[in-house]
Amino acid sequence: MANPVLVVGGGPSGLAASHALASVGQPVVLVEKESQLGGAPILSGYAKLVPSGEWAKDAIGGMVTRAEAADLVTVNTATTVQEFSGNPGAFRATLSDGSSVDASAAILCTGFTHFDSVNKPEWGFGLFPDVVTTTQVEQMISSGAGVRCPSDGRTPKRVAILLCVGSRDRQIGREWCSKVCCTVSSNLAMEIREELPDCHVYIYYMDIRTFGLYEDLYYWRSQEEFKVKYVKARIAEVTSDGDRLIVKGEDTLVKRPITIPFDMVVHAIGMDPNVDNMLLSSIFDVKLQKHGHIERASTYSAMAETSRPGVFVAGAATGPETIDDSIAQGQGAAMAALAVVNGALPQAAE
Ligand SMILES: Cc1cc2nc3c(=O)[nH]c(=O)nc-3n(C[C@H](O)[C@H](O)[C@H](O)COP(=O)(O)OP(=O)(O)OC[C@H]3O[C@@H](n4cnc5c(N)ncnc54)[C@H](O)[C@@H]3O)c2cc1C
Ligand code: SF4
């Protein structure tokens, strides 16, 4: 029997790749560095996902259960790959527990790291307890605790969501759009309004990128049905008057300074390259692209290929991606790995 395929990372893309391979009879060794599978939606406690509206713990939790139950998937949690050598069809990986795996091919599904808002100090995170991130609000909702100001547990009457925190910001070296945070923020705004009908929710934006079918489901619905207010603005700083948070900036539509008080300010944080990518690049001998994501060898003809034949990549490891696209890429990478298992030798990328 052919060697298993090594899948590194147990988020949506890695779970999808593992399932696709197992469902056609191909053994998989899945290596996940955290103690739990599920990737960002489970590890960070996301609430209802866009665009399906399903709870993350059900939708992605179901993928975890399926992988854990599959006879052909050997799951190694709290484990990393330390060394990787060999050629397509005959690789050898040494794991952090000292064991080794002979693998036909490898798929890197190692995802992203959430932007750390302390890198945007002028917007108050880390200084004021009621300046939080979208992941924190997701956790408040998914845990059932409800949306509350961390400083004293009160119910906020006014919430500002600031978009593009750690994305589209050349000053701090984040030139990319994180793709999903406009839609996630519109969704969170509606969830806050649903839980707290007396709370006013404002979204501060440069541009709104609720792309494709998300436009009416999120952008228009949040305004028309849920009365969320959108302010096109450049934010200068988030301060405090000792009582409430103050968001200062310029309304770029009317070109006037604005200073508005809030109880809670939410940073819509972006998707950074995985902090492990330099290490992964050196262990697997794969190239990174200029921002530090794992480079794909080709956009169209061999999308899952990296610079090293037999080592593939899928999902947010390649740059900001949605869950459904990450799953599709995981399945595509599984197909490419299967070709190696069956003796097709991928070409080295230029
Ligand atoms: C606040 C926020 C909300 C979001 N909400 C949505 C939403 O509602 N809908 C949507 O479509 N998208 C959403 N996204 C995007 C979503 O998180 C990604 O599309 C998705 O997580 C990508 O899946 P992935 O498997 O590629 O990566 P990840 O989910 O990042 O999973 C990668 C896995 O690899 C593991 N790993 C990392 N490094 C290593 C290593 N060195 N060795 C072994 N394992 C490793 C990680 O622990 C993790 O389990 C949101 C993003 C943010 C920031
Ligand atoms: S999706 Fe929206 S919030 Fe996220 S980086 Fe792009 S424009 Fe900014």
- Do 245 and 282 fall into the same domain? no
SS3 content of the chain, % helix, strand, coil (to 5): 30, 30, 40
Beta bridge partners, 260, equal 247
Whose CA is closest to 14, among 343, 34, 1? 34
Nearest CA to ligand 2 atom 6: 177
Substitution candidate for ligand 1 out of 75, 110, 114, 209 with most atoms within 8 A of CB: 110
Q: Kindly report the pTM of this predicted structure.
A: 0.97
Q: Of 255, 271, 287, at which residue does a domain stop?
A: 271
The 3-state DSSP class for residue 136 equals helix
- Do 144 and 28 fall into the same domain? no
- Please indicate, yes or no, if residue 347 is contained in any of the structural domains: no
- Do 267 and 335 fall into the same domain? no
Q: How far is the CA of 218 from the centre of ligand 1 (A)?
A: 22
pLDDT reported for residue 350: 45
Whose CA is closest to 171, among 123, 232, 114, 112? 123
Give kind and range of the element (H or E) at residue 20.
helix 12-23
pLDDT reported for residue 341: 95
- Do 164 and 220 fall into the same domain? yes
Nearest CA to ligand 2 atom 1: 179
Q: Are 321 and 314 in contact (CB under 8 A)?
A: no
pLDDT reported for residue 346: 62
Residue 277 near ligand 1, beta carbon < 6 Å: no
**Ligand 2 atom closest to Cα of 181?**
4
Give kind and range of the element (H or E) at residue 278.
helix 277-284
Cα 326 from Cα 323, distance rounded (Å): 5
- Do 168 and 96 fall into the same domain? no
Residue 39 near ligand 1, beta carbon < 6 Å: yes
Residue 50 near ligand 1, beta carbon < 6 Å: yes
Q: Of 248, 271, 294, at which residue does a domain stop?
A: 271
Q: Give burial (CB, 10 Å; 0-12/13-18/19+) of 213.
A: exposed
Nearest CA to ligand 2 atom 8: 164
Residue 110 near ligand 1, beta carbon < 6 Å: yes
- Please indicate, yes or no, if residue 301 is contained in any of the structural domains: yes
- Do 233 and 318 fall into the same domain? no
Whose CA is closest to 20, among 345, 312, 271? 312
pLDDT reported for residue 347: 54
Q: How far is the CA of 167 from the centre of ligand 1 (A)?
A: 16
* Closest listed ligand to the CA of 176: 2
Nearest CA to ligand 2 atom 7: 209
- Do 135 and 234 fall into the same domain? yes
- Do 69 and 144 fall into the same domain? no
Q: Of 216, 251, 271, at which residue does a domain stop?
A: 271
| CATH of residue 175 | 3.50.50.60
- Please indicate, yes or no, if residue 349 is contained in any of the structural domains: no
pLDDT reported for residue 309: 96
Cα 105 from Cα 249, distance rounded (Å): 51
Supply φ then ψ for residue 55, to 5 degrees: -65, 140
Q: How far is the CA of 222 from the centre of ligand 1 (A)?
A: 25
The 3-state DSSP class for residue 38 equals coil
Name the packing angle between helices 12-23 and 56-69 (round to 10°): 40
Could you state, in chain order, the average pLDDT of each consecutive group of 10 residues for the chain (350 residues)?
93 98 98 98 97 97 98 98 97 98 98 97 96 98 97 98 97 96 98 97 97 93 98 97 96 95 98 98 98 95 93 98 98 97 68
Q: Which domain holds residue 123?
A: 117-271
**Ligand 1 atom closest to Cα of 31?**
43
The number of distinct structural domains making up the chain is 2
Nearest CA to ligand 2 atom 4: 181
- Do 107 and 121 fall into the same domain? no
Cα 269 from Cα 210, distance rounded (Å): 16
- Do 264 and 144 fall into the same domain? yes
* Closest listed ligand to the CA of 134: 1
